[in-house]
Amino acid sequence: MGPMSDTAAAPAPPGSTALDPAVAARLKRDPQGLVPAVAQQYDTGEVLMLGWMDDEALHRTLTTGRCTYWSRSRREYWVKGDTSGHLQLVKSVALDCDGDTLLVKVDQVGAACHTGDRTCFDAGGIPVLPAPADQ
């Protein structure tokens, strides 16, 4: 994913999130307070990347129309495309049935991956063996 190529926004003060309480109540966060967010091209269904969001990053994503992620390595927020110009313009956000994963449908401008590839999944597939005939 692209946190190394994009600049970070200033971290929010603790407790400053204005995330809708009903949405916040449905989120099942990991021990660091994060939820994985899958970015998908809204019109083709192409899976672009996986990033991480806390309540504040999700709030910023929902209110600005641009994907904001939390960089686990740098420990700061980053807005996709602030430096690279490879924007993710938010079309919709959904929470899965378990409340532990977000699906963010975006209009991706340019590459989604920090390597310059269209998606972070362009590096090649992993061979899948055929299932045994008796299954």
The answer to whether 113 is a known ligand-binding residue is: yes
The answer to whether 117 is a known ligand-binding residue is: no
**Residue 135 in domain:** no
The answer, yes or no, to whether residue 3 has pLDDT greater than 70, is no
**Residue 116 in domain:** no
pLDDT recorded at residue 124: 76
Q: What is the pLDDT of residues 13-62, one digit of tens each?
A: 444 558 889 999 999 999 999 999 999 999 999 999 999 999 999 999 99
Longest dimension (CA), the chain: 57
Total domain count, the chain: 1
**Residue 133 in domain:** no
The answer to whether 96 is a known ligand-binding residue is: yes
Q: Name the pLDDT band for 135 (thresholds 50, 70, 90).
A: low
**Residue 127 in domain:** no
Q: Tell me which residue range forms the domain holding 66.
A: 8-108
**Residue 98 in domain:** yes
Cβ neighbours of 30 (radius 10 Å): 11
Q: What is the pLDDT of residues 86-132, one digit of tens each?
A: 999 999 999 999 999 999 999 999 999 989 999 999 877 888 999 88
**Residue 78 in domain:** yes
**Residue 35 in domain:** yes
CA–CA separation, 4 and 23 (whole Å):
29
**Residue 3 in domain:** no
Structure tokens at 49: 């990347």
Contact 61, 93 (CB under 8 A): yes
**CATH code, 95:** 3.10.20.810
The answer to whether 67 is a known ligand-binding residue is: no
